[in-house]
Protein backbone atom coordinates (compact mmCIF):
# COMPACT_ATOMS: atom_id res chain seq x y z
CA UNK A 1 0.00 0.00 0.00
CA UNK A 2 2.87 2.36 0.71
CA UNK A 3 4.03 1.77 -2.82
CA UNK A 4 0.66 2.23 -4.53
CA UNK A 5 -0.60 5.33 -2.75
CA UNK A 6 2.10 7.69 -4.06
CA UNK A 7 1.39 6.36 -7.59
CA UNK A 8 -2.31 7.18 -7.23
CA UNK A 9 -1.49 10.64 -5.90
CA UNK A 10 1.01 11.21 -8.68
CA UNK A 11 -1.59 10.21 -11.28
CA UNK A 12 -4.07 12.57 -9.69
CA UNK A 13 -1.53 15.39 -9.77
CA UNK A 14 -0.79 14.75 -13.44
CA UNK A 15 -4.48 14.73 -14.29
CA UNK A 16 -4.99 17.95 -12.34
CA UNK A 17 -2.05 19.61 -14.07
CA UNK A 18 -3.31 18.56 -17.50
CA UNK A 19 -6.78 19.83 -16.68
CA UNK A 20 -5.33 23.13 -15.52
CA UNK A 21 -3.26 23.43 -18.67
CA UNK A 22 -6.26 22.75 -20.89
CA UNK A 23 -8.32 25.23 -18.90
CA UNK A 24 -5.60 27.86 -19.27
CA UNK A 25 -5.43 27.38 -23.04
CA UNK A 26 -9.21 27.54 -23.33
CA UNK A 27 -9.38 30.65 -21.16
CA UNK A 28 -6.59 32.31 -23.10
CA UNK A 29 -8.38 31.53 -26.35
CA UNK A 30 -11.66 32.85 -24.99
CA UNK A 31 -9.93 35.95 -23.66
CA UNK A 32 -8.33 36.49 -27.05
CA UNK A 33 -11.69 36.22 -28.79
CA UNK A 34 -13.22 38.70 -26.34
CA UNK A 35 -10.70 41.28 -27.51
CA UNK A 36 -12.13 41.08 -31.03
CA UNK A 37 -14.88 43.67 -31.29
CA UNK A 38 -15.35 43.76 -35.08
CA UNK A 39 -15.38 40.84 -37.52
CA UNK A 40 -15.30 41.69 -41.24
CA UNK A 41 -15.84 39.14 -44.02
CA UNK A 42 -14.91 40.07 -47.60
CA UNK A 43 -16.39 37.55 -50.03
CA UNK A 44 -14.84 37.39 -53.52
CA UNK A 45 -15.71 35.04 -56.39
CA UNK A 46 -14.82 31.83 -58.13
CA UNK A 47 -11.18 30.92 -57.57
CA UNK A 48 -9.69 27.69 -56.28
CA UNK A 49 -6.69 27.73 -53.98
CA UNK A 50 -4.38 26.18 -56.58
CA UNK A 51 -5.62 28.65 -59.20
CA UNK A 52 -4.30 31.70 -57.29
CA UNK A 53 -2.14 30.50 -54.37
CA UNK A 54 -0.77 27.20 -55.65
CA UNK A 55 2.74 28.70 -55.72
CA UNK A 56 2.55 30.33 -52.27
CA UNK A 57 5.65 29.56 -50.16
CA UNK A 58 5.18 26.89 -47.48
CA UNK A 59 1.53 26.27 -48.43
CA UNK A 60 0.24 22.93 -49.66
CA UNK A 61 0.17 23.77 -53.32
CA UNK A 62 1.30 22.68 -56.74
CA UNK A 63 4.78 21.57 -55.71
CA UNK A 64 3.18 18.84 -53.61
CA UNK A 65 0.57 17.96 -56.23
CA UNK A 66 3.08 17.56 -59.05
CA UNK A 67 5.07 14.96 -57.13
CA UNK A 68 2.39 12.34 -57.82
CA UNK A 69 0.50 12.09 -61.14
CA UNK A 70 -2.45 10.59 -59.26
CA UNK A 71 -2.96 14.00 -57.64
CA UNK A 72 -3.39 15.88 -60.91
CA UNK A 73 -4.02 13.60 -63.91
CA UNK A 74 -7.55 13.86 -65.29
CA UNK A 75 -9.62 10.92 -66.51
CA UNK A 76 -11.96 10.49 -69.45
CA UNK A 77 -15.63 9.53 -69.27
CA UNK A 78 -14.69 5.85 -69.19
CA UNK A 79 -12.27 6.35 -66.29
CA UNK A 80 -9.11 6.03 -68.40
CA UNK A 81 -6.34 8.59 -67.86
CA UNK A 82 -6.47 11.20 -70.62
CA UNK A 83 -3.54 11.27 -73.03
CA UNK A 84 -3.88 15.08 -73.10
CA UNK A 85 -6.29 17.73 -71.87
CA UNK A 86 -9.30 18.56 -74.05
CA UNK A 87 -9.08 21.87 -75.80
CA UNK A 88 -10.68 24.90 -74.18
CA UNK A 89 -14.27 24.72 -75.45
CA UNK A 90 -15.92 27.86 -76.86
CA UNK A 91 -12.49 29.41 -77.36
CA UNK A 92 -13.49 30.90 -80.70
CA UNK A 93 -10.36 33.05 -80.99
CA UNK A 94 -8.16 30.03 -80.16
CA UNK A 95 -6.40 31.90 -77.37
CA UNK A 96 -5.40 28.64 -75.70
CA UNK A 97 -3.31 26.03 -77.54
CA UNK A 98 -4.69 22.58 -78.24
CA UNK A 99 -2.96 19.45 -77.02
CA UNK A 100 -1.98 20.65 -73.56
CA UNK A 101 -0.40 17.95 -71.40
CA UNK A 102 -2.59 16.25 -68.80
CA UNK A 103 -1.34 18.37 -65.90
CA UNK A 104 -1.84 21.88 -64.45
CA UNK A 105 -0.62 24.74 -66.64
CA UNK A 106 0.21 28.42 -66.13
CA UNK A 107 -2.46 30.61 -67.70
CA UNK A 108 -0.27 33.70 -67.47
CA UNK A 109 2.46 32.00 -69.53
CA UNK A 110 0.16 31.83 -72.54
CA UNK A 111 0.62 34.86 -74.85
CA UNK A 112 -2.13 37.41 -74.33
CA UNK A 113 -3.23 35.93 -70.99
CA UNK A 114 -2.48 37.14 -67.49
CA UNK A 115 -3.91 38.30 -64.19
CA UNK A 116 -5.34 41.39 -65.87
CA UNK A 117 -7.15 39.46 -68.64
CA UNK A 118 -10.57 37.85 -68.18
CA UNK A 119 -10.80 34.25 -69.33
CA UNK A 120 -14.06 32.64 -70.42
CA UNK A 121 -16.32 31.39 -67.63
CA UNK A 122 -16.34 27.76 -66.49
CA UNK A 123 -19.30 25.70 -65.32
CA UNK A 124 -19.53 25.81 -61.52
CA UNK A 125 -22.70 24.05 -60.45
CA UNK A 126 -23.76 21.67 -57.70
CA UNK A 127 -23.84 18.30 -59.46
CA UNK A 128 -20.88 19.11 -61.70
CA UNK A 129 -18.63 20.06 -58.79
CA UNK A 130 -19.64 16.93 -56.90
CA UNK A 131 -18.76 14.75 -59.90
CA UNK A 132 -15.49 16.63 -60.53
CA UNK A 133 -14.32 15.97 -56.97
CA UNK A 134 -15.05 12.27 -57.58
CA UNK A 135 -14.92 11.14 -53.97
CA UNK A 136 -11.79 13.18 -53.28
CA UNK A 137 -9.74 12.05 -56.29
CA UNK A 138 -10.30 15.40 -58.05
CA UNK A 139 -9.75 13.68 -61.40
CA UNK A 140 -12.99 14.56 -63.21
CA UNK A 141 -12.61 18.32 -63.57
CA UNK A 142 -11.71 18.28 -67.27
CA UNK A 143 -14.30 15.62 -68.13
CA UNK A 144 -17.20 17.50 -66.52
CA UNK A 145 -16.20 21.08 -67.31
CA UNK A 146 -17.77 23.01 -70.19
CA UNK A 147 -14.44 24.81 -70.55
CA UNK A 148 -12.20 21.80 -71.14
CA UNK A 149 -8.54 22.34 -70.30
CA UNK A 150 -9.11 25.74 -68.70
CA UNK A 151 -10.19 24.05 -65.49
CA UNK A 152 -6.54 22.99 -64.95
CA UNK A 153 -5.16 26.51 -65.33
CA UNK A 154 -3.44 28.50 -62.59
CA UNK A 155 -1.53 31.76 -62.16
CA UNK A 156 1.65 32.94 -60.56
CA UNK A 157 -0.20 34.87 -57.87
CA UNK A 158 2.91 36.53 -56.44
CA UNK A 159 2.09 39.67 -58.43
CA UNK A 160 -1.30 40.05 -56.74
CA UNK A 161 -1.83 42.88 -54.28
CA UNK A 162 -3.27 40.43 -51.72
CA UNK A 163 -0.21 38.17 -51.91
CA UNK A 164 2.03 40.30 -49.61
CA UNK A 165 -0.93 40.71 -47.23
CA UNK A 166 -1.26 36.93 -47.09
CA UNK A 167 2.48 36.70 -46.35
CA UNK A 168 2.24 39.38 -43.67
CA UNK A 169 -0.64 37.73 -41.82
CA UNK A 170 -2.13 34.19 -42.06
CA UNK A 171 -3.06 32.23 -45.17
CA UNK A 172 -5.34 29.24 -44.56
CA UNK A 173 -4.40 26.50 -47.02
CA UNK A 174 -7.14 24.04 -46.04
CA UNK A 175 -10.25 26.21 -46.34
CA UNK A 176 -13.05 24.66 -48.41
CA UNK A 177 -16.17 26.12 -49.96
CA UNK A 178 -19.20 25.29 -47.83
CA UNK A 179 -21.29 23.63 -50.54
CA UNK A 180 -20.74 21.93 -53.87
CA UNK A 181 -21.29 24.17 -56.86
CA UNK A 182 -21.77 27.85 -57.40
CA UNK A 183 -22.19 31.26 -55.87
CA UNK A 184 -25.92 31.03 -55.21
CA UNK A 185 -25.70 28.05 -52.86
CA UNK A 186 -22.42 29.06 -51.23
CA UNK A 187 -23.82 32.46 -50.29
CA UNK A 188 -26.59 30.65 -48.45
CA UNK A 189 -24.04 28.54 -46.64
CA UNK A 190 -22.18 31.71 -45.66
CA UNK A 191 -25.20 33.22 -43.91
CA UNK A 192 -27.27 30.23 -42.77
CA UNK A 193 -25.31 26.99 -43.33
CA UNK A 194 -28.41 25.80 -45.13
CA UNK A 195 -29.70 24.80 -48.54
CA UNK A 196 -32.88 26.68 -49.54
CA UNK A 197 -36.14 24.85 -50.14
CA UNK A 198 -38.23 25.03 -53.30
CA UNK A 199 -40.94 22.46 -52.69
CA UNK A 200 -43.15 22.89 -55.76
CA UNK A 201 -40.93 24.20 -58.57
CA UNK A 202 -41.94 24.26 -62.22
CA UNK A 203 -40.85 21.03 -63.89
CA UNK A 204 -38.58 23.07 -66.16
CA UNK A 205 -36.39 23.87 -63.15
CA UNK A 206 -35.83 20.32 -61.88
CA UNK A 207 -32.59 18.45 -62.58
CA UNK A 208 -32.61 14.96 -64.10
CA UNK A 209 -30.54 12.87 -61.70
CA UNK A 210 -29.38 9.27 -61.95
CA UNK A 211 -30.87 7.48 -58.95
CA UNK A 212 -27.89 5.14 -58.59
CA UNK A 213 -25.07 7.68 -58.75
CA UNK A 214 -26.88 10.78 -57.51
CA UNK A 215 -25.29 12.71 -60.39
CA UNK A 216 -26.71 14.42 -63.46
CA UNK A 217 -27.91 12.18 -66.27
CA UNK A 218 -25.95 12.50 -69.49
CA UNK A 219 -27.87 12.77 -72.73
CA UNK A 220 -27.57 10.03 -75.34
CA UNK A 221 -25.92 12.60 -77.61
CA UNK A 222 -23.21 13.44 -75.04
CA UNK A 223 -19.71 12.73 -76.48
CA UNK A 224 -18.19 9.39 -75.47
CA UNK A 225 -14.83 11.04 -74.87
CA UNK A 226 -14.24 14.45 -73.34
CA UNK A 227 -11.63 15.00 -76.08
CA UNK A 228 -14.52 15.12 -78.55
CA UNK A 229 -16.63 17.70 -76.73
CA UNK A 230 -18.14 18.89 -73.49
CA UNK A 231 -20.82 16.81 -71.76
CA UNK A 232 -24.49 17.18 -72.63
CA UNK A 233 -27.06 16.74 -69.85
CA UNK A 234 -30.66 15.55 -69.96
CA UNK A 235 -31.81 18.38 -67.68
CA UNK A 236 -29.31 20.58 -65.86
CA UNK A 237 -31.88 22.11 -63.54
CA UNK A 238 -31.47 24.34 -60.50
CA UNK A 239 -33.68 22.30 -58.16
CA UNK A 240 -33.08 18.77 -56.89
CA UNK A 241 -35.81 16.17 -57.44
CA UNK A 242 -36.64 16.39 -53.72
CA UNK A 243 -37.09 20.15 -53.71
CA UNK A 244 -33.82 21.86 -52.76
CA UNK A 245 -32.51 24.85 -54.70
CA UNK A 246 -28.85 24.23 -55.51
CA UNK A 247 -28.07 26.34 -58.58
CA UNK A 248 -28.77 29.96 -59.41
CA UNK A 249 -32.38 31.07 -58.90
CA UNK A 250 -33.29 34.73 -58.61
CA UNK A 251 -34.49 36.32 -55.34
CA UNK A 252 -38.18 37.09 -54.78
CA UNK A 253 -37.45 40.70 -53.81
CA UNK A 254 -35.77 43.49 -55.72
CA UNK A 255 -33.04 43.85 -56.74
CA UNK A 256 -33.65 40.66 -58.71
CA UNK A 257 -32.76 39.48 -62.18
CA UNK A 258 -36.51 39.00 -62.68
CA UNK A 259 -38.43 42.18 -63.39
CA UNK A 260 -41.57 43.13 -61.46
CA UNK A 261 -44.83 41.86 -62.93
CA UNK A 262 -46.39 44.27 -65.46
CA UNK A 263 -48.41 46.68 -63.35
CA UNK A 264 -47.35 44.83 -60.19
CA UNK A 265 -45.44 45.82 -57.08
CA UNK A 266 -42.07 47.21 -58.16
CA UNK A 267 -40.47 45.96 -54.92
CA UNK A 268 -40.80 42.28 -55.80
CA UNK A 269 -39.91 39.96 -58.67
CA UNK A 270 -42.68 38.66 -60.89
CA UNK A 271 -43.76 35.47 -59.06
CA UNK A 272 -45.22 33.96 -62.26
CA UNK A 273 -43.05 34.99 -65.24
CA UNK A 274 -43.95 33.93 -68.76
CA UNK A 275 -40.97 31.58 -68.77
CA UNK A 276 -41.54 29.14 -65.86
CA UNK A 277 -37.82 28.30 -65.72
CA UNK A 278 -37.24 31.86 -64.48
CA UNK A 279 -39.56 31.61 -61.48
CA UNK A 280 -38.00 33.27 -58.42
CA UNK A 281 -37.18 31.32 -55.29
CA UNK A 282 -39.94 31.47 -52.67
CA UNK A 283 -39.04 33.63 -49.66
CA UNK A 284 -37.03 31.58 -47.17
CA UNK A 285 -37.61 31.30 -43.43
CA UNK A 286 -34.65 29.24 -42.18
CA UNK A 287 -32.60 30.97 -39.45
CA UNK A 288 -29.56 33.02 -40.50
CA UNK A 289 -26.55 34.43 -38.71
CA UNK A 290 -28.31 37.79 -39.00
CA UNK A 291 -31.24 36.40 -37.02
CA UNK A 292 -28.93 35.05 -34.33
CA UNK A 293 -27.12 38.39 -34.01
CA UNK A 294 -30.34 40.41 -33.97
CA UNK A 295 -31.79 38.10 -31.32
CA UNK A 296 -28.88 39.11 -29.06
CA UNK A 297 -29.19 42.81 -30.04
CA UNK A 298 -25.80 42.73 -31.76
CA UNK A 299 -25.63 44.99 -34.81
CA UNK A 300 -24.54 43.67 -38.19
CA UNK A 301 -24.62 44.63 -41.87
CA UNK A 302 -24.35 43.15 -45.36
CA UNK A 303 -22.60 45.73 -47.56
CA UNK A 304 -22.87 45.23 -51.32
CA UNK A 305 -21.11 47.26 -53.98
CA UNK A 306 -23.68 48.85 -56.36
CA UNK A 307 -26.62 47.97 -54.08
CA UNK A 308 -28.16 51.47 -54.18
CA UNK A 309 -27.50 51.79 -57.90
CA UNK A 310 -29.32 48.51 -58.57
CA UNK A 311 -32.33 49.64 -56.54
CA UNK A 312 -32.43 52.94 -58.39
CA UNK A 313 -32.05 51.55 -61.94
CA UNK A 314 -32.47 47.98 -63.15
CA UNK A 315 -29.74 48.55 -65.74
CA UNK A 316 -27.29 48.16 -62.85
CA UNK A 317 -28.45 44.58 -62.14
CA UNK A 318 -26.22 42.31 -64.21
CA UNK A 319 -25.20 45.42 -66.10
CA UNK A 320 -23.09 45.79 -69.19
CA UNK A 321 -20.75 42.80 -69.59
CA UNK A 322 -22.45 41.31 -66.48
CA UNK A 323 -20.96 43.98 -64.25
CA UNK A 324 -22.79 45.91 -61.55
CA UNK A 325 -24.76 44.13 -58.83
CA UNK A 326 -25.34 40.39 -59.13
CA UNK A 327 -28.65 39.65 -57.51
CA UNK A 328 -27.91 36.01 -56.69
CA UNK A 329 -24.92 37.17 -54.60
CA UNK A 330 -27.24 38.89 -52.09
CA UNK A 331 -28.36 36.06 -49.78
CA UNK A 332 -30.39 38.01 -47.23
CA UNK A 333 -32.58 39.30 -50.06
CA UNK A 334 -34.01 35.77 -50.33
CA UNK A 335 -35.41 35.73 -46.77
CA UNK A 336 -38.91 36.71 -45.67
CA UNK A 337 -37.47 38.78 -42.84
CA UNK A 338 -36.35 41.26 -45.51
CA UNK A 339 -39.64 41.45 -47.41
CA UNK A 340 -39.76 45.10 -48.58
CA UNK A 341 -43.56 45.06 -48.83
CA UNK A 342 -43.98 44.83 -45.05
CA UNK A 343 -43.09 47.59 -42.56
CA UNK A 344 -40.99 45.13 -40.57
CA UNK A 345 -39.12 43.91 -43.64
CA UNK A 346 -38.49 47.44 -44.90
CA UNK A 347 -37.06 48.37 -41.49
CA UNK A 348 -34.78 45.30 -41.49
CA UNK A 349 -33.48 46.23 -44.93
CA UNK A 350 -32.68 49.78 -43.88
CA UNK A 351 -30.89 48.54 -40.79
CA UNK A 352 -28.83 45.73 -42.31
CA UNK A 353 -28.64 45.80 -46.14
CA UNK A 354 -26.30 48.59 -47.16
CA UNK A 355 -24.28 49.93 -50.08
CA UNK A 356 -20.57 49.55 -50.73
CA UNK A 357 -20.05 53.28 -50.25
CA UNK A 358 -21.52 52.89 -46.77
CA UNK A 359 -18.81 50.31 -46.11
CA UNK A 360 -15.90 52.59 -46.95
CA UNK A 361 -17.52 55.47 -45.07
CA UNK A 362 -18.07 53.31 -41.98
CA UNK A 363 -14.48 52.05 -42.16
CA UNK A 364 -13.01 55.55 -42.08
CA UNK A 365 -15.40 56.83 -39.41
CA UNK A 366 -14.98 53.78 -37.18
CA UNK A 367 -18.68 52.94 -37.33
CA UNK A 368 -18.62 49.37 -38.67
CA UNK A 369 -21.03 47.14 -36.74
CA UNK A 370 -19.60 44.19 -34.78
CA UNK A 371 -20.22 41.85 -37.76
CA UNK A 372 -19.83 43.16 -41.32
CA UNK A 373 -19.97 41.34 -44.64
CA UNK A 374 -18.75 43.02 -47.84
CA UNK A 375 -19.66 41.80 -51.32
CA UNK A 376 -17.79 43.28 -54.31
CA UNK A 377 -19.79 44.02 -57.46
CA UNK A 378 -19.19 42.41 -60.84
CA UNK A 379 -16.25 44.63 -61.71
CA UNK A 380 -14.33 43.73 -58.56
CA UNK A 381 -15.30 40.19 -57.59
CA UNK A 382 -12.68 38.31 -59.73
CA UNK A 383 -15.31 36.14 -61.46
CA UNK A 384 -14.10 34.55 -64.75
CA UNK A 385 -16.08 35.43 -67.83
CA UNK A 386 -16.77 39.07 -67.13
CA UNK A 387 -13.84 40.35 -65.08
CA UNK A 388 -10.20 39.61 -64.39
CA UNK A 389 -8.38 38.64 -61.21
CA UNK A 390 -6.11 41.66 -60.90
CA UNK A 391 -8.68 44.46 -60.66
CA UNK A 392 -10.76 42.76 -57.99
CA UNK A 393 -7.73 41.66 -56.01
CA UNK A 394 -6.42 45.24 -56.04
CA UNK A 395 -9.83 46.51 -54.91
CA UNK A 396 -9.91 44.07 -51.99
CA UNK A 397 -6.30 44.80 -50.99
CA UNK A 398 -7.13 48.51 -50.95
CA UNK A 399 -10.08 47.82 -48.64
CA UNK A 400 -7.84 45.77 -46.33
CA UNK A 401 -5.36 48.64 -46.10
CA UNK A 402 -8.25 50.99 -45.33
CA UNK A 403 -9.36 48.64 -42.57
CA UNK A 404 -5.82 48.69 -41.14
CA UNK A 405 -6.13 52.48 -40.85
CA UNK A 406 -9.61 52.34 -39.32
CA UNK A 407 -10.16 53.55 -35.74
CA UNK A 408 -11.53 50.04 -35.09
CA UNK A 409 -8.46 48.19 -36.36
CA UNK A 410 -6.93 47.41 -32.94
CA UNK A 411 -9.90 45.16 -32.11
CA UNK A 412 -10.69 43.84 -35.61
CA UNK A 413 -10.44 40.52 -37.45
CA UNK A 414 -10.84 40.38 -41.24
CA UNK A 415 -11.41 37.24 -43.29
CA UNK A 416 -10.90 37.54 -47.04
CA UNK A 417 -12.12 34.48 -48.91
CA UNK A 418 -13.91 33.23 -52.03
CA UNK A 419 -17.41 31.85 -52.35
CA UNK A 420 -16.38 28.88 -54.50
CA UNK A 421 -13.80 27.56 -56.94
CA UNK A 422 -15.43 28.83 -60.13
CA UNK A 423 -14.94 25.47 -61.85
CA UNK A 424 -11.15 25.53 -61.40
CA UNK A 425 -9.38 22.35 -60.29
CA UNK A 426 -7.77 21.97 -56.89
CA UNK A 427 -5.78 18.93 -55.82
CA UNK A 428 -6.65 18.69 -52.10
CA UNK A 429 -9.38 16.29 -51.04
CA UNK A 430 -12.29 18.05 -49.28
CA UNK A 431 -13.09 16.88 -45.75
CA UNK A 432 -16.00 14.60 -45.04
CA UNK A 433 -19.26 16.47 -44.72
CA UNK A 434 -22.89 15.99 -45.65
CA UNK A 435 -24.92 15.77 -48.90
CA UNK A 436 -24.28 19.46 -49.62
CA UNK A 437 -20.51 19.73 -49.17
CA UNK A 438 -17.87 20.85 -48.45
CA UNK A 439 -16.74 21.46 -51.99
CA UNK A 440 -13.34 22.35 -53.40
CA UNK A 441 -10.56 24.24 -51.63
CA UNK A 442 -10.49 28.04 -51.94
CA UNK A 443 -8.14 30.73 -50.57
CA UNK A 444 -8.78 32.36 -47.19
CA UNK A 445 -6.66 35.06 -45.58
CA UNK A 446 -6.96 36.11 -41.94
CA UNK A 447 -5.90 39.73 -41.38
CA UNK A 448 -5.86 41.10 -37.85
CA UNK A 449 -3.65 42.43 -35.06
CA UNK A 450 -4.59 39.11 -33.43
CA UNK A 451 -3.56 36.93 -36.40
CA UNK A 452 -0.33 34.97 -36.47
CA UNK A 453 2.26 36.74 -38.60
CA UNK A 454 3.92 35.23 -41.67
CA UNK A 455 1.95 32.06 -41.08
CA UNK A 456 0.30 29.31 -43.12
CA UNK A 457 -2.55 27.72 -41.18
CA UNK A 458 -3.34 24.14 -42.25
CA UNK A 459 -6.33 23.73 -39.95
CA UNK A 460 -9.32 22.34 -41.85
CA UNK A 461 -11.93 25.08 -42.35
CA UNK A 462 -14.94 25.60 -44.55
CA UNK A 463 -17.39 28.44 -45.09
CA UNK A 464 -19.30 27.46 -41.95
CA UNK A 465 -16.13 28.14 -39.95
CA UNK A 466 -16.94 31.83 -40.37
CA UNK A 467 -20.32 31.24 -38.72
CA UNK A 468 -18.65 29.17 -36.02
CA UNK A 469 -16.25 32.04 -35.22
CA UNK A 470 -19.04 34.63 -35.08
CA UNK A 471 -21.19 32.30 -32.97
CA UNK A 472 -18.41 31.62 -30.50
CA UNK A 473 -17.30 35.22 -30.21
CA UNK A 474 -20.77 36.61 -29.54
CA UNK A 475 -22.14 33.60 -27.67
CA UNK A 476 -24.94 32.94 -30.15
CA UNK A 477 -27.22 29.97 -30.58
CA UNK A 478 -25.46 27.76 -33.16
CA UNK A 479 -27.00 27.33 -36.58
CA UNK A 480 -27.90 23.67 -37.23
CA UNK A 481 -25.89 23.25 -40.44
CA UNK A 482 -22.52 24.40 -39.09
CA UNK A 483 -20.13 21.46 -39.35
CA UNK A 484 -18.52 20.05 -36.23
CA UNK A 485 -15.34 18.81 -37.92
CA UNK A 486 -14.06 22.21 -39.08
CA UNK A 487 -12.18 24.88 -37.17
CA UNK A 488 -13.33 28.30 -35.98
CA UNK A 489 -10.15 30.30 -36.86
CA UNK A 490 -8.85 30.43 -33.30
CA UNK A 491 -5.85 28.39 -34.54
CA UNK A 492 -4.91 31.40 -36.68
CA UNK A 493 -4.80 33.76 -33.71
CA UNK A 494 -1.81 34.79 -31.63
CA UNK A 495 -1.62 37.05 -28.61
CA UNK A 496 -1.14 40.56 -30.02
CA UNK A 497 1.86 42.65 -28.93
CA UNK A 498 1.18 44.85 -25.91
Which of 6-10, 37-41, 276-280, 332-336 has the least mean pLDDT? 6-10
Q: Number of C-alpha atoms within 13 angstroms, CB side, residue 421?
A: 43
The residues with which 461 forms a beta bridge, in sequence order, are 175
More confident residue, 11 or 383: 383
Residue 44: pLDDT above 90? yes
pLDDT band with cut points at 50, 70 and 90 for residue 31: low
Residue 15: pLDDT above 80? no
pLDDT of residue 95: 87
**Residues 213, 140: Cα–Cα separation, whole Å:** 15
Contact 280, 298 (CB under 8 A): no
CB atoms within 10 A of CB 346: 14
Average pLDDT over residues 358-366: 98
Average pLDDT over residues 35-52: 98
Residue 20: pLDDT above 50? no
Name the residue among 492, 428, 425, 495 with its Cα closest to residue 465: 492
pLDDT of residue 238: 98
pLDDT digits (tens, 9 = 90+) for 102-143: 999 999 999 999 999 999 999 999 999 999 999 999 999 999
Contact 332, 288 (CB under 8 A): yes
3-state helix, strand, coil in the chain (%, to 5): 35, 15, 50
Name the residue among 394, 303, 315 with its Cα closest to residue 355: 303
Residue 76: pLDDT above 70? yes
- Strand ranges (E), 241-290: none
Residue 9: pLDDT above 80? no
Average pLDDT over residues 20-40: 65
Which of 28-42, 243-257, 371-385 has the least mean pLDDT? 28-42
pLDDT digits (tens, 9 = 90+) for 327-349: 999 999 999 999 999 999 999 99
pLDDT digits (tens, 9 = 90+) for 476-490: 999 999 999 999 999
Contacts of 172 (CB under 8 A, 6+ apart): 443, 444, 445, 446, 456, 457, 458, 459, 461, 492
Average of per-residue pLDDT values in the chain: 93
Which of 64-73, 91-100, 162-171, 409-418 has the least mean pLDDT? 91-100
Pairing label, strands 461-462, 175-176:
parallel
pLDDT of residue 29: 55
Average pLDDT over residues 45-64: 98
Fold of 34-57+154-195+280-492: Alkaline Phosphatase, subunit A (3.40.720)
Q: What percent of the chain has pLDDT over 90?
A: 90
Name the residue among 487, 362, 480, 420 with its Cα closest to residue 177: 420
Q: Domain-by-domain residue ranges, the chain?
A: 34-57+154-195+280-492
**Residues 492, 490: Cα–Cα separation, whole Å:** 5
- The region, left, alpha or beta by phi > 0 then psi within -120 to 50, assigned to residue 79 is left
CB atoms within 10 A of CB 40: 26
Average pLDDT over residues 309-325: 91
User: Is this prediction's pTM over 0.85?
Assistant: yes
Residue 375: pLDDT above 50? yes
pLDDT digits (tens, 9 = 90+) for 433-475: 999 999 999 999 999 999 999 999 999 999 999 999 999 999 9
Average pLDDT over residues 383-410: 97
pLDDT band with cut points at 50, 70 and 90 for residue 495: low
Average pLDDT over residues 237-265: 97
Amino acid sequence: MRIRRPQVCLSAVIVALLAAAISAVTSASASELDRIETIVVIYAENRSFDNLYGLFPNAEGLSQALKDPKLYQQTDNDGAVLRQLPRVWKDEKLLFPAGLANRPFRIDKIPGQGLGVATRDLVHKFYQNKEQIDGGRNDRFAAVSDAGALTMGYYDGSKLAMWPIAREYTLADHFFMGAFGGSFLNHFWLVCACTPRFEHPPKEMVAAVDEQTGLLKRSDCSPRSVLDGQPVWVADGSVTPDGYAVNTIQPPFQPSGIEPAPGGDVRIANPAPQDPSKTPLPAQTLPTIGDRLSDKHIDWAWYAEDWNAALADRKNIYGKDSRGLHAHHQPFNYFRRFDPTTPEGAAERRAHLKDGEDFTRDISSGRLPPVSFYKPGGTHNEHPGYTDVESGDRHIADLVRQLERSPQWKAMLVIVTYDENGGFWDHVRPPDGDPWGPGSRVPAIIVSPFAKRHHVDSTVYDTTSILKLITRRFDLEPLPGVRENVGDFTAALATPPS
